[in-house]
Amino acid sequence: MLVVGGVIGSGIFRKPGVMAGQLGSPELLLGVWLLAGIITLMGALTNAEIAGMIPETGGQYVYFDRIYGPFAGFLYGWSIFSVMQTGSIAALAYVFAEYAAAFFRLPDVTGPAASFSVYLPFIGHVTPLKESGIKAVAAAVIIVLTAVNYIGTKFGGWVQNIFTFAKLGGMFLLVLAAFFLPNGGTVLNLQADSPVIQPHGLALWAALAAGLQGAFWAYDGWNKITFVSGEVLDPQRNVPRSLFIGMSAVMAVYLLMNAAYTFVLPIDAMASSKLVAADVAEKCFPGGGKWIALVVMVSTFGAANSSILSSARVYFSMARRKVFPGFLGVAHPKFHTPGAALILQAGWSLLLLSSGTFDTLTDTLIFVSWIFYGASAYGVIALRRREPETPRPYKVPGYPALPWIFVLFSVVFLVLTIYGDITNYRNAVAAGKPAMVNSAFGIFLVLLGTPIYLCYKLKRSAFPNSRRQ
């Protein structure tokens, strides 16, 4: 439930329309979702070997510390805090608020204040007041779910299970409505390409990378189970199994959902749709838009809860290792939860929420995430060479080919993402619109951790007794 609930959030409801506008072809769209699912499953299977070797709370932070040393471990943990998981929490709450607008009119800042932006050198413009009504509702979601997980892990776990079952049920009903109701679609929509959106050459490769970025956001979150490995019964067995079973189920669900979308809506109609799931449901039956809006709200609420529940354990683990403020490593005396880490996480998520739009948040965090996903996969190869005798309850199938394929794909994907970001930034500037190089913003947030690490290193040198044991 943690894998499926943590992965299925906003992406499958929000990103297919954006991807249709980038690719212009239903076949390419479905192919990108399939490729992204296979690559993500390869990454999950690869990382599961390390998860079985090192079943500790803190997940990949602990892995990076062991594979590459304390600096790499710190940068990963800092990135979880500065952009990857806090950005994910903000983005999920953002989509919850977008779909809540189907039921409530959200007040918004208008006029010149709405377009207020702050320019960051080499990065672009940050727009804190844009879509302020949506951001206010999203902020309330973050605060409520943080309070739920502050009270107790068991309570947060029950919330996770209930919302996961509810979202899967709603998605299954939407697929049935798309294919079997008389107002559904036609097979011709699955074959007709856009007459307007037809990327070729290098532009096609950039479009594929952009499409993969959207799909990877929808598949992101599979590693959350590793953050709580120390709290899972029989983690050497259950963590790898949860990754394989959970990601296989997610891939099947996503392919069914995208097939339903493209069956009902022509590719150009998808490209112009901001809330594609709601538009598909509305076409299938009257009032369907509000019904699916409720499903999306349930889905994003549950996924945000999963991120909040699991991610705070990373900062908790880092504080216990004396590389984050010590108070973050203290469990609440009554609730036995990482209360201080949860509060700090919520505060930073709220700050990121104000920084830009949904696509800014997701594109930034996916770029940063894939730097570490590739490095983590290479870590399997490094540990096989360095620690051949260490017990491995689970071994990645197809070694060493599968980890190497994943590593090489990660490098190509990151290069194409940077190229696409720079191209989009130049086009926006030429059109006189505020824009941001999302990959540069992500790198900036990651590198902010370097001086913090150096401060802690100097502190440990000055006070040897503070070194972690």
pLDDT in tens, 336-372: 778 888 999 999 999 888 876 677 778 888 899 899 9
Q: What is the DSSP string of 162-207?
A: HHHHHHHHHHHHHHHHHHHSTTS--GGGGTPPPSS----HHHHHHH
Please, which pLDDT band fits residue 467 given cuts at 50, 70 and 90?
A: very low
Kindly report the pTM of this predicted structure: 0.77
Residue 469 confidence (pLDDT) above 50:
no
In this prediction, residue 109 carries a pLDDT of 64
Residue range 197-204: mean pLDDT, rounded: 86
Other residues' Cβ atoms within 10 Å of the Cβ of residue 461: 10
CA distance 10 to 277: 11
Helical ranges in 24-125 per DSSP H = 26-53, 60-68, 70-79, 85-100
User: How far is the CA of 111 from the CAs of 126, 128, 130, in angstroms?
Assistant: 17, 14, 11
Residue 240 confidence (pLDDT) above 80:
no
Number of domains making up the chain: 1
- Residue 165, Cβ density class (10 Å: 0-12 exposed, 13-18 middle, ≥19 buried): middle
8 Å CB contact between 466 and 459: yes
In this prediction, residue 124 carries a pLDDT of 59
In this prediction, residue 404 carries a pLDDT of 94
Residue 197 confidence (pLDDT) above 70:
yes
Domain range for 339 is 2-466
CA distance 185 to 352: 39
CA distance 17 to 22: 9
In this prediction, residue 381 carries a pLDDT of 93
86-101 pLDDT, tens per residue? 888 998 898 899 888 8
* CATH code of residue 400: 1.20.1740.10
In this prediction, residue 407 carries a pLDDT of 94
User: How far is the CA of 252 from the CAs of 38, 164, 185, 247, in angstroms?
Assistant: 11, 16, 21, 9
Q: Mean pLDDT, the chain, as a whole number?
A: 83
Structure tokens at 360: 């800014």
8 Å CB contact between 117 and 127: yes
Please, which pLDDT band fits residue 224 given cuts at 50, 70 and 90?
A: low
Exposure pattern of 426-435 as b/e (b: 16+ CB <10 Å)?
Answer: eeeeeeeebb
301-321 pLDDT, tens per residue? 887 887 887 778 778 877 887
CA distance 300 to 397: 33
Peptide bond into 434 cis (omega under 30): no
Q: Which amino acid is at 248?
A: S
